[in-house]
A and B are shown apart, each in its own frame.
Chain A
Amino acid sequence: MRIAILGFGSVGRGIARAILAKNLDITVTGLADSRSGIIDPAGIDLAAALARKENGGPCGGPDVSPGDVVAKADYDVLVEVTPTNVDDGEPALGHIRGALRRQKHVVTSNKGPIALAYPELRALAETNGVFLKYEATVCGAIPLIHAMQEGLAGNTISRLYGVFNGTCNYILTRMAEDSLTYEQALAEARELGYAEADPTYDVEGIDAGIKLVILANTILDMQTTLDDVERTGITLLTPEALRLAEDQDCTIRLIGEIVPEAGVLRVSPRIVAKAHPLVVEGTLNAVTVETDLAGDLTFIGKGAGSTETASAVIGDLLYIRERHVQGS
């Protein structure tokens, strides 16, 4: 199978390393980061590209743009793993459209295009007879979308809720463990690389909200946008509040919740019994799905990280190869 990779940050490099390490029989024929690119039908030397990038250089030449890779490279699947833009999904959205129109399958970890334009992209994929897969957009390594679309097909989902943001979970875990203030826990999360310099996206519940929109629109047949998510972040939480919860064997977690029947999408800090399966430590994610046939299921795993996100992307790639890519 031949793929083109757009984005050579942490996720893109994680995918490249997994391809090199695991003999997956995947050839990369196109590769681009934000300022450079390479197209090579014979297969790009990934080890060399990784080395260039790790030395602070671009992955390829300045004369090849991501758009060139999408339009000109010879690939079966476009792997789109650039950073999320929640305002208009660009430039990723345009690149995904371009690949689908060329009748290329697309695998993405990019939440923006899926949250903003899924119905359109799915229709475009269907018209062109190709797959659009996006497992890595929600909860990193947890195969939640696959489980809901395949394993739980035929079930009616009455409620879905959980911890969708590892950064917030880390901050709340640390506030409860050592009575840190929100600011102290955030500073620690930054030091460890779990939180961005501007943490708004995580701590205001925007990231969790986008994931709810993706699940609602792509799996639960709802038509929602980020504006439909009732959203409260964790910035105002106090160590005292966590201690008051603790006195009753409970703790506080930022919970994303969808109740399809009632049209509810909500991200807010909630009081959760410490014995509840959703009370996971550190940067883990955990999601409970309530179904009619299978009962309640809880999925726990790493929601971020280059290798973990690469796991979801590679799962999607191999899913497509099994079903739709002829030859190698």
Chain B
Amino acid sequence: MKLEMRDRPGQLVAALQPISAVGGNIIAVIHQREAPAATEALDVQIVLELPEGRLSRLLELLREQGVNVVRIDEERLLYECTLIMIGHLMHTDLSDTVGRIDTTGSAEVTELSLVMPAISSPSSARITIRSTTRTEMKKAIRILRSVAEQKNLLIIEPLEDA
């Protein structure tokens, strides 16, 4: 996120303190002191990781500190899970299988490798799903499981939970 604050001593601490208060983890702070503008404002960019559902509380705390949040970049998809599917993947409409996860809006298929040994033999695919939260990932895998049941596909999940 990009923050704008008054160029006064203690302001940076005032901006960082709420992040630790909500259990966030600061990955990088880019502090642009030589900002060309003649205003007293100071731009700071912060890259951070936050536990789920804490963003609105953070914004509230920052406002209380008099820090103006200029911009929040898109949340990145943090959770990734790779599974393998075996079965008649093409005959059972692979794009529908992928689409059922993508249409959730909170998880998406980001990679797919497909091997089709012969027209009548079952094919195998490795599928990578990304999601914003662990809960969304579990939901996506549940969807995939139910699709697999309908379409008679075998899903091989990773040993570790997503």
Contact = CB atoms under 8 A, between A and B. Distances in A.
Interface residues of B, number: 19
B124 A269 contact: no
A270 B125 CA distance: 14
A253 B113 CA distance: 20
Contacts of A255: 159
B124 A272 contact: no
Contact of B82 (A161, A237, A243, A248): A248
Given A236-B122, A244-B113, A270 B86 contact: no
Given A240-B117, A270-B159, A245 B84 contact: yes
B157 A270 contact: yes
A271 B82 contact: yes
A17 B154 CA distance: 45
A248 B87 CA distance: 21
Interface in B102-136: 113, 115, 117, 121-126
Contact of B86 (A241, A248, A250): A241
Interface string A222-251: 000000000010001110110111011010
A240 B125 CA distance: 8
Contacts of A253: 159
Nearest to B85: A241
A271 B125 contact: no
Contacts of B122: 236, 238
Contacts of B157: 268, 270-271
10 contacts: A240-B117, A247-B126, A248-B82, A248-B126, A270-B156, A270-B157, A270-B158, A271-B84, A271-B159, A278-B159
Interface of A: 161, 232, 236-238, 240-241, 243-245, 247-248, 250, 252-253, 255, 268-273, 276, 278
